[in-house]
């Protein structure tokens, strides 16, 4: 009889717990009740972020589905990244700020989403929507504002500005032919403008953590979101995405300065950042050793110990890509060409464009009339073309030589070291726009030969009483 009474009591407790779970599962989305003493109600900051997702992000998804293809796939990744950020903000509203060594683990999901978005762009360089993908890829690190203080808002604006280079290209290509792309650009840029306003209102000087509740940690957060032991698996609504990531640009192939994420990781070490410093003995201190002062304060470097059998780490060889030379739709793709001086595009149409990427020690000739030409990430590359009705761009390149046989309205040089442009008699009215570039020379035909004119790299700016006046600076010898 006692055993039967105990069994009934256990069944009653189980039923009570199941009823509690059932009531939690029927609560509105975002309200997770109370688990392990942590209130799962949605904070005002999270509600505001939900409004942003349900309006701006949802509109961007809608416009992307209209364009379909790679743009739609990329937009779904962006939506997933915002869901990961929403989960992080929900956690921050319920937990106190974590220890420094737990930050990386909590940030990892967002970091992985960002990396996925950027990798998708790199794997689809031949896409007809490459400018769309690039606009998203260049600005998506804005989600890293949660690791920025005291000015996360301006950081988002900076990332948004990085997208405008590519969104302007989209607008230029489609503003007179397909307004769906114009609407897509507006919907995407609106996301970041709205996010800046959100941050200004709720996280002005940095991410705001809860003042109550337990301290956030990878293990504690996961356990708080999971049901207690012994419960059968109920059918609750799907939990929000896991907490976000540290912004590690692992897969990026750019050879530029270290990423912001790496900088954040170093700063987050706190006092541990001094562990790598070498101890200076009294014998190496100038003020305690007069003989060192006579030597200019220099002490002999410490002797390096070589472990027997140790071999220096070997750097990975650069990944080899198959060369590409093909017409894809209306785009000529010339990519990864090495030591090729006989490349010729002989059949061109007015609507076609040429995209030249990562070619080294090669020369390309384009005959006929083409819409536009882009040279991206090339070294020691030569281009000869007849006519271009649009812009010819040189981006992130080095040692470029270009010869115009006919006409071209505009040549743009951006982030390039060394660019020599030979103009024809018909192209003397060409406009040359340059930014962040050096060693640029324009060669003008005169008396059967070419005369070289350097493009200014230094400028002098002065206030004339009503406005700033900028003129090229003349180097005085």
Distance CA 40, CA 221 (A): 12
Better-predicted residue by pLDDT, 308 or 384: 384
Could you give the angle at the alpha carbon of 434 between the alpha carbons of 431 and 435, nearest 5°? 155
What's the pLDDT at 2?
Answer: 60
Beta bridge partners of 220: none
Distance CA 176, CA 183 (A): 13
Among the listed residues 25, 91, 45, the one whose alpha carbon sits nearest the alpha carbon of residue 241 = 91
| Position 192 confidence tier, pLDDT thresholds 50, 70, 90 | very high
* 120-124, 312-316, 388-392, 405-409: least confidently modelled range: 312-316
Separation in Å, CA 107 to CA 58, 159, 247, 267, 358: 24, 19, 7, 15, 33
Q: Are 134 and 166 in contact (CB under 8 A)?
A: yes
Write out pLDDT tens, residues 420-468: 999 999 999 999 999 889 999 999 999 888 899 999 988 889 998 898 9
Beta bridge partners of 472: 459
Write out pLDDT tens, residues 219-276: 655 444 333 343 444 455 555 555 455 444 444 444 444 455 565 555 555 555 555 5
Q: How many other CB atoms are found less than 10 A from the CB of residue 181? A: 22
What's the pLDDT at 269?
Answer: 59
Q: Are 329 and 320 in contact (CB under 8 A)?
A: no
pTM of this prediction? 0.46
Q: Are 136 and 121 in contact (CB under 8 A)?
A: yes
Distance CA 427, CA 392 (A): 13
Better-predicted residue by pLDDT, 297 or 155: 155
What's the pLDDT at 179?
Answer: 92
Q: Token digits for 90?
A: 């929900």
- Please list, in sequence order, all residues whose beta carbon lies within 8 angstroms of the beta carbon of residue 108, skipping any fewer than 6 positions away: 243, 244, 245, 246
Distance CA 335, CA 210 (A): 51
| Position 293 confidence tier, pLDDT thresholds 50, 70, 90 | low
pLDDT of 81 above 70: yes
- Please list, in sequence order, all residues whose beta carbon lies within 8 angstroms of the beta carbon of residue 29, skipping any fewer than 6 positions away: 237
Write out pLDDT tens, residues 386-407: 999 999 999 999 999 999 999 9
Q: Report the mean per-residue pLDDT for the chain.
A: 79
Q: How many other CB atoms are found less than 10 A from the CB of residue 242? A: 20
Q: Token digits for 294?
A: 């006579």
Distance CA 238, CA 158 (A): 34
Secondary structure class of 75 (helix, strand, coil): helix
Secondary structure class of 92 (helix, strand, coil): helix
């Amino acid at each position: 009889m006692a055993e039967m009474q105990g069994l009934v009591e256990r069944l009653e407790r189980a039923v009570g717990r199941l009823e509690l779970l059932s009531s939690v599962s029927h609560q509105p989305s975002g309200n997770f009740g109370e688990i392990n003493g942590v209130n799962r109600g949605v904070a005002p900051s999270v509600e505001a972020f939900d409004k942003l997702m349900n309006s701006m992000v949802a509109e961007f998804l809608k416009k992307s589905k209209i364009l379909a293809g790679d743009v739609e796939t990329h937009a779904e990744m962006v939506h997933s990244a915002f869901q990961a950020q929403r989960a992080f903000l929900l956690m921050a509203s319920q937990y106190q700020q974590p220890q420094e060594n737990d930050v990386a683990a909590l940030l990892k999901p967002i970091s992985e989403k960002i990396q996925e978005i950027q990798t998708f762009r790199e794997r689809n360089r031949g896409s007809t929507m490459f400018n769309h993908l690039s606009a998203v890829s260049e600005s998506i690190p804005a989600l890293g504002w949660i690791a920025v203080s005291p000015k996360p808002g301006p950081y988002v604006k900076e990332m948004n500005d990085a997208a405008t280079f590519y969104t302007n290209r989209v607008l230029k290509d489609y503003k007179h032919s397909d307004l769906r792309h114009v609407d897509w650009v507006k919907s995407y840029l609106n996301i970041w403008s709205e996010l800046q306003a959100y941050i200004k209102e709720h996280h002005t000087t940095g991410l705001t953590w809860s003042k109550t509740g337990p301290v956030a940690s990878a293990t504690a957060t996961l356990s708080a979101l999971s049901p207690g032991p012994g419960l059968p698996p109920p059918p609750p609504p799907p939990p929000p995405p896991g907490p976000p990531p540290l912004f590690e640009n692992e897969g990026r192939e750019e050879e530029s300065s270290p990423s912001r994420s790496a900088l954040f990781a170093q700063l987050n070490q706190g006092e541990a950042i001094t562990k790598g410093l070498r101890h200076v003995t009294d014998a190496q201190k100038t003020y305690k050793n007069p003989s060192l002062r006579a030597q200019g304060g220099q002490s002999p470097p410490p002797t390096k110990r070589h472990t027997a059998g140790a071999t220096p780490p070997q750097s990975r060889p650069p990944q080899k890509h198959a060369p590409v030379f093909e017409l894809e739709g209306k785009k000529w793709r010339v990519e990864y060409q090495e030591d090729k001086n006989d490349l010729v595009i002989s059949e061109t149409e007015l609507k076609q464009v040429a995209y030249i990427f990562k070619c080294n020690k090669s020369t390309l000739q384009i005959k006929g009339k083409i819409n536009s030409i882009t040279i991206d990430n090339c070294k020691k590359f030569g281009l000869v073309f007849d006519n271009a009705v649009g812009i010819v761009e040189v981006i992130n390149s080095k040692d470029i030589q270009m010869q115009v046989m006919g006409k071209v309205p505009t040549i743009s040089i951006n982030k390039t070291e060394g660019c020599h442009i030979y103009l024809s008699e018909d192209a003397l009215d060409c406009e040359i726009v340059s930014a962040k570039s050096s060693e640029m020379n324009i060669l003008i035909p005169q008396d059967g030969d070419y005369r070289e004119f350097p493009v200014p790299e230094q400028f002098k700016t002065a206030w004339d009483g009503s406005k700033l006046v900028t003129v090229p600076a003349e180097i005085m010898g």
